[in-house]
Structure 1
């Protein structure tokens, strides 16, 4: 699933599926701002990979900070919906930005680039002026999305590390690892270490005396 998400992010037009997603699901927006409450079930599940849910608070996924949007011509990036700016998708921070800058909310980034330089229309809104204070460098050529997360290249394994960061190493891990360990035994030991062994709970519930050695 994470590989499908990556192909949509980099707009891999060699895939008929990605081309269909861009035309019929995104419709001029971006994978980062499109709603996850519409479309087929598989599409909703894919979009929700952008976020990590914890205690009912939706946080911006760990995936976006692992990507760098290198601005070239600007034809492949959305002006308001892609996180090419340091502030992230601009439409989320400046909902009225398109109106104040007299641009379309589905405009490509190339609309504010001319001859390889930034060429923004006059912005009258004081809040939206922050957009032009920290613009990215225009590298020229094609737009690129660069993976800057774990590893040198994007893969399902590196994406898994981002979605599921490894926890701290415990001192008792060596007790459960080894070719000579019997799976049933180390599973019971693991439950005992975590205090989840139901036989112990049952024994204590019957007021039995448990002697630890």
Structure 2
């Protein structure tokens, strides 16, 4: 998430600071201590050229942490650009181009290839036979003697 004007970026749930969603940093008590609702957008937390809670004299550690980590809101107020959402998969740089393949690879890890892979899954096989062979290899076929136990 690249928050330019802050009109669409969610204050608690979007990663507009580069530190991850603020709700993850403050825990669920963040909205309670700051008095901000869960669905507030970044622009609504700015009053004038400061953050709504920046003048607070509270000694609460969550408010003090937010004061220290949030960027200067002046750039957002003067920005004419809309907020934009970026995709980030693994350790790659954020991009505005979405790739289902990269997302799949980031979400699911692959196990090592087993030596019998090509014996079961080959071009021209009968899927029913390949599936049964695969189940037998993993010793998961429910045979009559296994069902009795």
SS in 2 for 1:130: helix
Q: TM-score, normalised by structure 1?
A: 0.47
Q: Which residue of 2 aligns with 1:180?
A: 124
User: Secondary structure of the equivalent of 1:75?
Assistant: coil
Q: Whose strand proportion is higher, 1 or 2?
A: 1
Change (3 A) 1:176 1:122: farther
Give the length in aligned residue pairs: 131
Give a deviation string over 1:115-157, Cα, whole Å, max 9, x none. 9xx7223232233211132235867422111011279632555
Q: What is the match of residue 69 of structure 2?
A: 134
SS at match of 1:96: helix
Aligned partner of 1:169 in structure 2 is: 112
* Normalised TM-score (structure 2): 0.63
Cα pair 1:74 1:109 within 8 Å, conserved = yes
RMSD of Structure 2 on Structure 1 (CA) = 3.6
Would you say the 8 A contact 2:33–2:62 is kept in 1? no
Equivalent-residue separation in structure 1 for 2:136 and 2:38 (angstroms): 57
Distance in 1, matches of 2:37 and 2:16, equals 17
* Structure 1 unaligned spans of 5+: 1-68, 207-213
Partners of 1:80 and 1:92 lie apart in 2 by 10
- Asked which structure has the greater RCO (Cα within 8 Å, sep 6+), the reply is 2
1:177, distance to aligned residue in structure 2 (A):
2.2
Structure 2 spans left out of the alignment, 5+ residues: none
Match of 2:89 among 125, 129, 149: 149
Q: Aligned-pair distance for 1:73? A: 0.7
CA–CA distance in structure 1, aligned partners of residues 37 and 129 of structure 2 = 63
